[in-house]
Amino acid sequence: MDEIKLRYGVNPHQSSARASVPEGSLPFKVLAGSPGYVNLLDALNSWQLVREMKEMTGLPSAASFKHVSPAGAATGLPLSPELAESCFVSGAELSPLAVAYVRARGADRLASFGDWIALSDTVDESTAKVISREVSDGCIAPGYEPAALKLLQAKKNGTYPVLEIDPSFQPPELESRQVFGVTLEQARNKAAITPALLEKVVTFKKQIPDEARTNMLIATLALKYTQSNSVSVAYDGQVIGMGAGQQSRIACTRIACAKADKWLLRLHPRVRALDFKKGATRTEKANAIDLFLEEDATALSDRGLLGQAELAAWRLHFNVVPAPLSREEKQDWLSRFDGVALSSDAFIPFRDNIDRAARSGVRYLVQTGGSSRDEGIIRAADEYGMVMVFTGLRLFHH
């Protein structure tokens, strides 16, 4: 048996935590820091996601995980100047792997605060520099260039967990876990997310451009490693909205689409031109932008949803307090984006999910199918001119 001690279990009071394999060696090495139980749950789930994303797209891939679900996942497609500005990396020289992480982190910067990072390729110095400036809890990758490892080993005064995974490792066919003294066992989820999943188009509209096909597959792959119920929205080679762990499908859809809306709205010229005071940190800017896009801060304060102290603190970030984007301005901007993809980890039971998705520019839908209401869902998708496929593959993850 090979094992390592962990800092603690899920909570600090849960001591005697360890990670082990009954035979052979652990598939990873700890190069810095000391991971905890949740760190390893994030590390081992996120590694599988980026490994499969790289296999699927051929592009360097990255994921930003929080609480065993991706806040963002992305490929290393080049950044537009607008997206680079939105992600606070304008003018930076970034490797494709660094771009993948910038995209993954930028999907939902609030959720990614204190994330676990997974990277599909050997970490270069460019990527390590990006990671070194962010608030993060650790990273996993198949290797590290010497200069990159030196940077990461210095993070958090040497306590930042850095894991090196064996990329050739394949786990056993059966996996088990213990809950309340009872051991549960099942076959490992080896379902492959490939273009073959998208062959059963059930709507009147059937054409799927290559870019949309990639986004549909990325959204679906992300669900494979997201706590269920879950809905994922993807665009431009990355996840831009994730609704995870909700008891109702519409709640998942609302969360995922609201996050996708904010990602798209952060590209709005008025958002990119916000006049922040000198010295405002990336975290402070991200929080201020999120509140700016949520609703007019003054209106929130008037409704009792934002305290006077919070409103005053928000205003302090700006040289000039910005006038809010109107609902019409927001909708006009969102309507410019066509080809957004949404995937559901199980069947969509009611058309309210389709109605909400349409408002976020979703034109490509992936779902399991098999609901008694499939006919009505197909009609709703046809009304919006969407392309919808039935995969027949449920992707619950717990």
Alpha-carbon dihedral angle through residues 101, 103, 107, 111, given to the nearest 10 degrees: 20
Q: In a 3-state reduction of DSSP, which class is residue 63?
A: strand
CA atoms of 190 and 128, how far apart (whole Å)? 31
Per annotation, catalytic residue among 45, 54, 66, 287: 66
CA atoms of 288 and 266, how far apart (whole Å)? 12
Per annotation, catalytic residue among 67, 205, 285, 330: 67
- All residues at 6 or more sequence positions from 241 whose CB lies less than 8 Å from its CB, including other chains: 107, 108, 232, 233, 255, 256, 257, 258, 259, 260, 261, 263, 360
Residue 397 CA, distance from chain mean position: 15
C-alpha distances (whole Å) from 161 to each of 7, 9, 139, 190 are: 11, 15, 7, 28
Cα–Cα nearest to 104, from 228, 224, 238: 238
Q: What are the beta bridge partners of residue 66?
A: 69
Per annotation, catalytic residue among 13, 190, 278, 398: 398
CA atoms of 323 and 385, how far apart (whole Å)? 35
Q: Could you count the other beta carbons within 10 Å of the beta carbon of residue 271?
A: 19
**What one-character DSSP code corresponds to residue 184?**
E
Q: Could you count the other beta carbons within 10 Å of the beta carbon of residue 186?
A: 9
Taking the CA atoms of the chain, what radius of gyration do you get in angstroms?
A: 21
**What one-character DSSP code corresponds to residue 241?**
E
Q: In a 3-state reduction of DSSP, which class is residue 217?
A: helix
Per annotation, catalytic residue among 229, 259, 262, 317: 229
Instruction: State the angle between helix axes of 352-359 and 374-383 in degrees (0 to 180), rounded to the nearest 10.
Output: 20
The answer to whether the bond into 353 is cis (omega within 30° of 0) is: no
**What one-character DSSP code corresponds to residue 282?**
H
Are 25 and 2 in contact, with CB atoms under 8 Å apart?
Answer: yes
Are 77 and 236 in contact, with CB atoms under 8 Å apart?
Answer: yes
229 is catalytic: yes
397 is catalytic: no
CA atoms of 213 and 223, how far apart (whole Å)? 16
66 is catalytic: yes
Are 142 and 122 in contact, with CB atoms under 8 Å apart?
Answer: yes
Indicate which residues carry an active-site annotation: 66-67, 229, 398
